[in-house]
Each structure stands twice: as structure tokens, then as C-alpha cells.
Amino acid sequence: MTTTPIIPAVPVFPLDDYFVFPGSVTPLHVFETRYRQLMRDLMDSSGRFVMAPCDPSQARDPQGGGPALPDLGTLVEIVRSEELEDGRWLVILLALARVAMVEVASDRLYRKADAQVLPETEAGAAGPAEAGLREALLAALRRSADGFGFAAADTVEIGRLADLLLHTLPLEAAQRRRAFIELDPEARAGLALEWLTPA
């Protein structure tokens, strides 16, 4: 697996069982004081931060530090934002990649982590099985409520297609967690197709 550089001290937005699959676009409503500060800071920087899908069953920090951060999160980028008169923010995010993260000290109200993008395991060699998996994913996406259509389907990685399909499915938190932490693209595609709601 290719090693990617560490992105130091990235802002983190923890949210229980909120799994953001790479390639998807998702809304976020920001109202807590610490995350209002995060939004203001991001307006003067890259607009990128990590969404951390915390496990609500894990113990909270007794010192008030919030939930334990998971090992994996999603690097996201703000593509649209609106600050409301009362200080809240309405934000649209583009999910870029899964990242491994380790929390570091923060000089702000919000938390930070060193993050490293996780390249996916290479899919198997192209062949009938790979082509069949790709076609099944594309067919499911075209039937989805979002009406996906890909002009260059052959260039879209199977892992990305699986993530886009998973984003559309009405899954339980445990299923979303299982799929999110699965780094093998073909295995993740198999889960997405297995969990498809019958038409």
C-alpha cells in the first residue's frame, strides 16, 4: 500500500455514527460555539477538516474533552457555506478520502488531529468478475433516488462506486460502520450490493 504524507493538526468535527463516504456530498448544520469557531477559521484556510464518526457506546472523556476519536475519519472540503444571523452555519461538504488520524493538542476550542489519507487496496485485475461487479454497482446507482449517471464509468474506481452506493442506502449504524472501515474496495462493493433494498 502506498504511503501518503501526514497532514498535521487538521480540525476535527466529531459526530456520533455520522459516516461520510468518500465521493459523496452531504449537508452539515453547525451550531455549537466551538464549531462556529472552526467554520470561521476554515474560511481563511483550505476549507478542509475531518469528520470523525464517533461510537456513542464508547466512554466520554470525564474531563469534558468529548467522545473518544475513532481511528478512521473522512477528510472533507467545504463547497458551500452560509452563516446565519444567529451565528449558525449551513454547510455543504464534499467527502474526499478516508483518513487515519491521531489526536494532537489544540490551541482552539475544537479538536485537531494528524491525518493520513488511506489509499485503498488495489482491486483485482480487470476481468469478467471485475466488470460484472462494476456493472452491478452502476445499475444500482442508476436506480437510486439520486439518479446517478456516469459518462466515463470505466474510469471510476470500484471502491468509489461502492461508497456512492453506500451513501444512498438506508443502513443501520452498525452496517455503515462496517462498510466505512472496510478498506478493500471489492469487499466493500460486495457489502453494498448485499444490503441493497429490494425494489
Q: State whether 106 and 183 are in the same domain.
A: no
Q: State whether 21 and 56 are in the same domain.
A: yes
Average pLDDT over residues 158-174: 95
In the structure grid, which three cell numbers stand for residue 134, read together? Answer: 462494476
* HSE-up (13 A, CA, CB side) for residue 135: 7
In a domain, 122, yes or no: no
pLDDT-derived band of residue 177, with 50, 70 and 90 as boundaries? very high
Q: State whether 49 and 145 are in the same domain.
A: no
Domain of 74, CATH number, reads 2.30.130.40
CA–CA dist 141, 155 (Å, integer): 16
Decide which of 117, 148, 183 is a domain's last residue: 117
CA–CA dist 173, 17 (Å, integer): 6
Q: State whether 82 and 31 are in the same domain.
A: yes
pLDDT of 198: 59
In a domain, 111, yes or no: yes
Decide which of 117, 142, 158 is a domain's last residue: 117
Decide which of 50, 85, 117 is a domain's last residue: 117
pLDDT of 100: 98
Whether pLDDT at 44 is above 70: yes
- Residue 71 belongs to domain spanning: 6-117
Q: State whether 150 and 95 are in the same domain.
A: no
Q: State whether 168 and 80 are in the same domain.
A: no
Q: State whether 69 and 137 are in the same domain.
A: no
Whether pLDDT at 197 is above 60: yes
Q: State whether 169 and 190 are in the same domain.
A: yes
Identity at 118, one-letter amino acid code: L
Written in H, E and C, the secondary structure of the chain is CCCCCEEEEEEEEEEECCCCCCCCEEEEEECCHHHHHHHHHHCCCCCEEEEEEECCCCCEECCCCEECCCCEEEEEEEEEEEECCCCCEEEEEEEEEEEEEEEECCCCCCEEEEEEECCCCCCCCCCHHHHHHHHHHHHHHHHCCCCCCCCCHHHCCHHHHHHHHHHHCCCCHHHHHHHHCCCCHHHHHHHHHHCCCCC
Q: State whether 86 and 173 are in the same domain.
A: no
pTM: 0.88
Total domains, the chain: 2
Q: State whether 132 and 111 are in the same domain.
A: no
Whether pLDDT at 126 is above 90: no
pLDDT of 59: 66
